[in-house]
A and B are shown apart, each in its own frame.
Chain A
Amino acid sequence: MSAPETNKAEVHAPVYVYELPVRLWHWVTAPCIIILAATGYLIGNPAWPLIAGEPFHHYVMGDIRFIHFTAAYILGIGFLLRVYWVLMGNRYAKEIFILAVWRKSWWHELFQTLRWYSFQKSEPMREVGHNPVAQLAILAVFVLGVLFQLVTGFALYGEGAGGWAHTLFTSWVIPLFGGSMEVHTWHHLAMWYILIFVIAHIYLVIREDIMSRQTMISTMISGWRYFKDSRS
């Protein structure tokens, strides 16, 4: 247990954690991912029944692919701006890109958080930013997963569209994987990789909003983190 409480009435002062660009990025990226996953699934598996008639009366696949590519552009541009914000933003803007693995305290917190998640510990840590488990999962699954999707996705896009996407991505990604089909398969698998992150992410922020010692969901809206107690 923590140190004796000196003043029960007071809690820790709120901290401005997520700056506006980070919040904007989060809330732009989230719908992009849902749209990309839904349209991407349909591109790989156009599940609708037979559409008949002259092809100029319909543009179903064309529209789905257009939405997919547009959402991918938004996701990609957002990702680039977010990487820029790693350089310009506050310390919490960096923590999902650069893990403080050289600090002993980071490892300590990692194991304490794992113990909390596995019901071995009755009280969670007080966290201002992301806890180390979250940092690790966001970097390994989300950041790298989205980067992988952007690279393979724009490589596939460049196959048909040519231009910059072909020069920057298609020209080396397709040979690297062996062929276009392999890139498609990996792009598809990585979608599920990111969706699993989304499932865990949404569950854990709700859980932590209820059970942790600080605000979670409202913090990503307002930027401010409020604490529920005064202990360290």
Chain B
Amino acid sequence: MMETGFIRTVRREVRQIMSRRVVMFAMVFIPLFTTLFLTQVMRNGLPEHIPVAIVNLDDTEVTRALVRQIASSKEVRVVAEPRSDAEAMKLVREGKTYGYYVIPRHFTRDIMSGHQPQITYYTNSAYLVPGSLLFRNLKTNSVLASGAVVKNYLVSSGTMSDTQAQALLQPVKLQTNPLHNPQTNYGVYLLNSFLPTLLALIILTVTVFSICQETKLHTSPQWLASARGSMTMALLGKLLPYTLVFTAVGSLMQAYLFGYLHYPLACSGWQMVLTMLLYVMANQAFAVFVAGVVPNLRLALSICSLVGMLTFSVGGFSFPVEEMYGSIGIFSYILPARYYFLIYVDQALNGLPLFYSRFYYIALLVFLLLPFTVVGNLRRNMLKPVYIP
């Protein structure tokens, strides 16, 4: 008896999805297109050939070698050699360069005569990624340049051997190992949180849309009838087709990132697919909860859009939650996307034992209980559909 009600609801829902091109578009095209789009944006891992200018006020053999050295690195592209600071700054304001490097007048003379010369570099840090890459490159180059000059002197004057001079100049060396992402690939860092969060945004809005439009179109009694009056069955039957489509789309995203692009995957792929299934269901449950509390279609959609968009920031995928003000940081823990991200970091990126992620999985499961708190409310609203535009 119940089973037929459930199946009837599923059939009804599949028919509805098929008749609404915009829903199919949102469910399949948007997430897959965004995946392709963002992976193409970050296809180089890090932006290369950042345009810079070099102001070389001391035109000598030494400084020209320095300019050549800077120009030869892959990160930068020297697009101009202006005559003054002011000209170089104008290029930054015009957006033609992201920074510049100033080699002062008498640089070579000063360095040889024991007066300490100063190299100055500027980056446009209103753009954080090119700004910090440029900083790293310019800093390395100025340290290397300075070292090279001194070392040359020490070695050629016969005071020290090459290694001794090197040790005197840099007694403590730093070796860095970015774990599991040695190239500091930006895509690995950003897309593993951004794409699932985008999927969450779509799941939230589509789920709320599918539930609340029943009241808008006054079809909610018919929906309830198809499940023989059981709100729980009506909900399960409605949500199942979406669960399948979203999990398939989400797994396709994962397959593209982990499989095709070889992003780090330290756990089993099936574990991530299962996590995706759980994540999809947690988001659906979240949306049902919103629809139960706020039965108004437009308002519920607004709430889900706002929550979905804010998740990108509050989720702490780029800016750490512990640095946010306490009251804001808390919000990140009411979002399924936060737990998916933490599971991804522990399991796929760092390959930790499941034990460390146990609470994140429990949290995702707890989301599934949310709809039970609003079933009664939802049933009341569905029996008396009122559309408030």
> Are A and B interaction partners?
no
